[in-house]
Structure 1
Amino acid sequence: METEFITITDYCINYNIEPTFINLLEESGIITLTIINTEKYISLTQLNELEKYVHFHYDLQINIEGIDAIRHLLQKVSQMQEEIRDLKKQLRLHES
């Protein structure tokens, strides 16, 4: 069976990240961690998001509040793009 999680400890060691940063992301509700036998894990499905947040924080020096704001704005943009696609489909249906 393939694992669906990676320990926060392993992730932090492999990517040279402070565990406190990941804990702050969790406390802010930006990511969700799973606790198994007192060890914190992140699901593999969230790794892409986590890598974005690591980039924002360590490379661009954006704090947790800024990351949360950027995340919110990116979600809004994505929702609007989806709405535009749906409206274009409806428009094509009415044109034909």
Structure 2
Amino acid sequence: METEFITITEYCINYDIDPSFIVALEESGLIIFTIIGEEKFIHQEQFSELDKYIHLHYDLQINIEGIDAIRHLLQKVSQMQEEIRELNKKLRLHE
């Protein structure tokens, strides 16, 4: 059975990531650590977002501030797409 949490150290070793990058993501509010005892963990629900941030940073050389801006813009686009879907539903009802 797969655990829901992984330590920062394990994650960084498994994915060959610098721990300071993960800490910087947490400090900027992009991810949230779960503290159990005296150790910090990453919840598996954050893995897909974390994978995106790793790709943006290591493959595309985007800094933490840029990642935050991209995340914000993608959230706005998603909200707008949902609003368009809702408006289309309303429009179809009136046709």
TM-score relative to the length of structure 2? 0.95
Match of 1:12 in 2: 12
Quote the Cα distance in structure 1 between the aligned partners of 2:16 and 2:2: 25
Offset of 1:12 from its aligned partner?
A: 0.2
The residue type equivalent to 2:65 in the other structure is E
Equivalent-residue separation in structure 2 for 1:61 and 1:38 (angstroms): 32
3-state SS of paired residue (2:34): strand
Matched with 1:87 is: 87
Aligned equivalents of 2:6, 2:92: Cα separation in 1: 45
Q: Secondary structure at the match of 2:17?
A: coil
Aligned equivalents of 1:11, 1:37: Cα separation in 2: 18
Q: Percent identity?
A: 76
Query: Which amino acid counterpart does residue 84 of structure 1 have in structure 2?
Result: I
Q: Distance in 1 between matches of 2:40 and 2:19?
A: 10
Distance in 2 separating the partners of 1:33 and 1:87: 37
Query: How much has 1:2 moved relative to structure 2?
Result: 5.1
Amino acid at match of 1:80: M
The superposition leaves residues 46-85 of structure 1 with CA deviations (integer Å, 9 ceiling, x where unpaired) of 1000000000000000000000000000000000000000
Report the counterpart of residue 58 of structure 1 in structure 2.
58
Equivalents in 1 of 2:42, 2:82: separation in Å? 28
CA shift digits 1:5-61 (9 cap, x unpaired):
111111100000011100000000111111112111111111000000000000000
Structure 1 segments unaligned to the other structure (5+ residues)? none
User: Any idea what SS the aligned residue of 2:78 has?
Assistant: helix
Where has structure 1 moved over 3 Å in runs of 4 or more? Answer: none
Deviation of 1:3 (Å): 2.4
Question: Aligned-residue CA RMSD in angstroms?
Answer: 1.1
